[in-house]
Amino acid sequence: MSIYDTLNTEQRKAVEHDKGPLLILAGAGSGKTRVLTHRIAYLMENKGVNPWNILALTFTNKAAGEMRERVDKIVGYGSENIWVSTFHSTCVKILRRWIDALGYDKGFTIYDSDDQKTLMREVCKYLQIDTKNMKERSLLSVISSAKDELVTPEEYELRAVGDFTKQKYASVYKEYQKRLKANNALDFDDLIFKTIELFQTSKEALTYYQRRFQYIMVDEYQDTNTAQFKLIKLMADGMNDNGVREHNLCVVGDDDQSIYKFRGANIYNILNFEKEYSDAKVIKLEQNYRSTKRILEAANEVIANNVGRKDKALWTDNGEGDSVRFTQFDRDIQEAEYIVNEIYQTVQSEEATYQDFAILYRTNAQSRIFEEKLVVKNIPYKIIGSINFYARKEVKDLLSYLKTIDNGLDSLAVKRIINIPKRGIGLATIDKVDDYAARNNISFYEALRQADYIPGLQRAASKISPFVSLIEILKSKIAQPDYSISNLLDEIIEATGYIEDLKEQELENEDDRIEIIGELKSKIVAFEEAALEPPTLSDFLEEVALVSDLDNLAEDNNVVVLMTLHSAKGLEFPYVYLCGMEEGIFPSYMSIHADDPETEIEEERRLCYVGITRAMKRLSLSACNQRMLRGETQFNRPSRFIREIPRYLLTMEQNPFNSNPFRSNSHASLVPEFNNRLQPAGVTRPGNGYQPSGVNYKEKFSNSSGQAGTLNNRDIYAGSIFDKNKSTAPQPREFGGSNLGKIDYGIGDTVSHIKFGVGLVTNINNAGKDYEVTVDFSAAGTKKMLASFAKLQKLS
């Protein structure tokens, strides 16, 4: 029995396809990762393909990591030579080696969206652009789209002739790009763009990678943009050793799960793949292994409302399963309370554990209310997205120190920290230094070093020099062999008094912030420990630039996860709650009122399809008649997507709280007209006659009835089965983290530290809200550390 015996016919066909372009249309849950990994194994084992010649591209680190793991498992020897990584890190790897051909330094830094915005603010200031009319974000998205479409600033300028606005954009784009280069920095889009530029500039580089990557595989192909496609095409266009162009390009995707058009994903990459490669073979994977029949049929019915999709019919051998449930609540708080309570009950009954549940919503703003209820119920949870760990203030500050030490050319980082903690260096000073730097064509940091010569600085210069010496000292430390990145971080925190400064500011969530610094430290230590050779500071900063918190999902084990539908793509959960199924929320107000609502609604529908197909066992949909949005109450009708699910698949629940008898009547008009088929039909797709009205219920309701204004929380909660008084409980943000305030060891105890190993506690001082612990480590000597920070484990 071979590993390929477990594949179905189509999967097997895909796995055994070895030469020439291949498009795999893989429906949700059809085992596409399995196919990719098995195909890699097959190529190596049966076709003698050298692992060195295989490239597998994904969009997320998580996907790359999972594929790597699975490939390692089934391939065995030689798997480490297979190049499995994300588009962006692939490009970084290539650029680190060759980018000097484009006039950049190989030690370039990568700017995240925050950095981009800061840089854009500088650009706007310089070009005297009123950011009230042209917002940084929209300018950045113009530039991003240009880069996605491979339009250079020069080309953009040429195309802008005669169009005032576009000319403005062109000058912004030009200046922005100029400054990136001056900072020796690339933004995310540049990583792709510059790699293509490299390939077009250096024949040597292109040929090198074409020869190397004889077999290319691309996951989530529907999400590729024009630039990414160009990149793939360039690499896949090489000749093999016999001078033949084989185009051994295998792309896997699902046009129904294309949900990133707003970010430049070009759906025609997948729809027109066969036109681009006329000899392409197409294989459809239509058997779903994930969901029950009912869930899958609901998904199929919804997505069938889209036109212009590749014809597909997902089916499953799984059981019928429970019926899909749609629950209508009066208010958003009830929705949250009900769902959280149900999760609690289900776990109590030992039917499931917390990690089996996902709460999915359209916008991040919807998470808050669930978080409140989860805290009250003491249920461990994790919110994905909203604020990226690496986007937190404290983390950005400390990383900016590391960046400054690593690459003085990154002026953004230097400017960020020059007055953190406060050194009495203000905007006026920074402007003067900036001026001087620009005039002398040197970097901001270099200008700081020459502060004494900058005219008009007198007093400020004396404040600058200690900062420069500090950075120089730290630079010399990290240059020493055996001096680790975590040592450096400690040194930075100590030398700058960062934590003390944080405490002095007396911010309300001080503990959280300190905990976050501890987390950063752990991440650095973990990174250092995972590396085979001691990693450089640049290595670490690069890693940081390319990770998101979705990547760390596996770290927290038994928690309920909350995330947007976008973040949920590629994941699966036994129990899925799809909440906020309301017109104006999902589909979003923006899509309903877009210039081209048809297209935008289709993207929302694909998002809905993604959401539904995340569920394995049970799917619960819910909507609320009224919800608080940005401080005002909104009244929304249930989502059109609910109506697109045939009635026979759904169990309807009306306001299970049923606390206020008159309410259920007053809202009778909110019950959607359903696709009233009571029996399954064949391959039907009747238009159900529904016309998107685009009219928010808010108008209708407030015109026809004044009741809304007379209701308050008390009315709704009267007779509630839940205790409303609990909702004011204190709110820890996440579980499993800090033990702040209590430590389980004392003087004389033996403890272990993640890095320093085992040691004896010799002293403990009460340092405000934290403890300063002195430990005598057998290997590392005596160290003083903050308890919240060091995460010491008691051994005896």
Q: Which residues are catalytic?
A: 32-33, 219-220, 257, 614
What is the smallest separation between the CB atom of 599 and DNA, expressed in angstroms? 11
Q: Is 188 in the site for DNA (CB under 7 A)?
A: yes
Q: Is 61 in the site for DNA (CB under 7 A)?
A: yes
728 is in an annotated binding site: no
Which one of the spans 243-251, 554-562, 584-592, 711-719 is the region binding DNA (CB under 7 A)?
Answer: 584-592
d(CA 447, CA 429): 12
Per the CB < 8 A criterion, the answer to whether 306 and 258 are in contact is no
- DSSP letters of 699-754? HHHHHH--GGGG--HHHHHTT-SS-GGGGG----SSSS---TT--S--TT-EEEET
Out of 399, 425, 616, 761, name the contact with DNA by CB under 7 A: 425
Which one of the spans 6-14, 309-317, 407-415, 540-548 is the region binding DNA (CB under 7 A)?
Answer: 540-548
Which residues lie closer than 8 Å to 130 by C-beta, 6 or more apart?
none
Out of 8, 50, 113, 240, name the contact with DNA by CB under 7 A: 113
Q: Is 32 in the site for DNA (CB under 7 A)?
A: no
The torsion region of residue 690 among left (phi > 0), alpha (psi -120 to 50) and beta comes to: beta
Q: Is 419 in the site for DNA (CB under 7 A)?
A: yes
Tokens of 130: 């009123």
d(CA 761, CA 782): 9
Binding mask 617-656 for DNA (x = CB under 7 A): -----------x-xx-------------------------
Q: Is 263 in the site for DNA (CB under 7 A)?
A: yes
Binding mask 563-582 for DNA (x = CB under 7 A): xx-xx-xx------------
What is the smallest separation between the CB atom of 320 and DNA, expressed in angstroms? 32
Q: Which is nearer to DNA, 497 or 534 (CB)?
A: 497
Judged by CB under 7 A, the chain residues 279 through 318 that form the site for DNA are none
Per the CB < 8 A criterion, the answer to whether 156 and 170 are in contact is yes
What is the smallest separation between the CB atom of 243 and DNA, expressed in angstroms? 35
Alpha-carbon distances of 336 from 489, 580, 656, 689, 697, rounded to whole Å: 41, 10, 13, 32, 22
- Residue 521, CA atoms < 13 Å, CB-side half-sphere: 23
Tokens of 214: 């004889």
Angle formed at CA 374 by CA 371 and CA 379, multiple of 5 degrees = 135
Q: Is 134 in the site for DNA (CB under 7 A)?
A: no
Per the CB < 8 A criterion, the answer to whether 445 and 183 are in contact is no
Which one of the spans 162-170, 256-264, 525-533, 722-730 is the region binding DNA (CB under 7 A)?
Answer: 256-264
Which one of the spans 44-52, 66-74, 545-553, 692-700 is the region binding DNA (CB under 7 A)?
Answer: 545-553
What is the smallest separation between the CB atom of 597 and DNA, expressed in angstroms? 10
d(CA 209, CA 231): 11
33 is in an annotated binding site: yes
What is the smallest separation between the CB atom of 79 and DNA, expressed in angstroms? 22
Identify the CA nearest to 142 among candidates 455, 221, 753, 129.
Answer: 129
Reduce the DSSP state of residue 557 to 3 states and report it. Answer: coil
Q: Length of the chain, please?
A: 796
- Residue 243, CA atoms < 13 Å, CB-side half-sphere: 0
31 is in an annotated binding site: yes
Q: Is 708 in the site for DNA (CB under 7 A)?
A: no
End-to-end CA distance of the chain: 51
Judged by CB under 7 A, the chain residues 341 through 370 that form the site for DNA are 362-365, 368
# residues near DNA by CB under 7 A:
58
Q: Is 383 in the site for DNA (CB under 7 A)?
A: no
Per the CB < 8 A criterion, the answer to whether 670 and 328 are in contact is yes
What is the smallest separation between the CB atom of 354 and DNA, expressed in angstroms? 21
What is the smallest separation between the CB atom of 542 and DNA, expressed in angstroms? 10
Which one of the spans 230-238, 404-412, 418-426, 492-500 is the region binding DNA (CB under 7 A)?
Answer: 418-426
Q: Is 496 in the site for DNA (CB under 7 A)?
A: no
Hunting for tokens 């001087």 — which residue is that? Answer: 436
Which one of the spans 30-38, 520-528, 583-591, 711-719 is the region binding DNA (CB under 7 A)?
Answer: 583-591
Q: Is 590 in the site for DNA (CB under 7 A)?
A: yes
d(CA 95, CA 186): 10
Out of 152, 323, 341, 548, name the contact with DNA by CB under 7 A: 548
Identify the CA nearest to 189 among candidates 221, 151, 220, 154.
Answer: 151
Reduce the DSSP state of residue 633 to 3 states and report it. Answer: strand
Judged by CB under 7 A, the chain residues 68 through 87 that form the site for DNA are 86
d(CA 252, CA 707): 53
**Which amino acids are annotated as binding site for ATP, given as ranges?**
26-33
**Which amino acids are annotated as binding site, given as ranges?**
26-33
Binding site for DNA (CB under 7 A): 59-62, 86, 88-89, 112-113, 117, 121, 131-132, 135, 188, 220, 223, 260, 262-263, 265, 362-365, 368, 385, 388, 419, 422-429, 460, 546-548, 550-551, 563-564, 566-567, 569-570, 588, 590-591, 594, 600, 604, 628, 630-631
